[in-house]
Amino acid sequence: MKNNNVALSDLLQVFNLVTTKGSKTEGNYEFQGIKAWHDFDGYTCFLGYKDLTLTLLFHGRYTFDFQQQETMDLFLSKVNKLLVAEL
């Protein structure tokens, strides 16, 4: 799995977009195919897209877990489009 560098601030902004503009079902938010959720205390946040899970950790670290590089590429494309639309 190839890991791509993405600005943490951009990922947090996408998390915020999904949780504020998305629809909530079963404790998760979903907006334009991206899901967002957090653990019980809010210190660890997650974004999901197809077979990809992004874990945003409390101290400014994050990790990607995915099966297909294509999924990662599509996710990053969606992230970029969401960020551009918010400008």
Q: What is the mean pLDDT of residues 28-56?
A: 95
pLDDT-derived band at 4 (thresholds 50, 70, 90) equals: low
pTM, full prediction: 0.89
> Which positions ≥6 away from 58 have C-beta within 8 Å?
43, 44
pLDDT tens for 53-71 read 999 998 889 999 999 999 9
pLDDT at 2 over 60: no
Cα 83-67-55 angle, rounded to 5 deg: 50
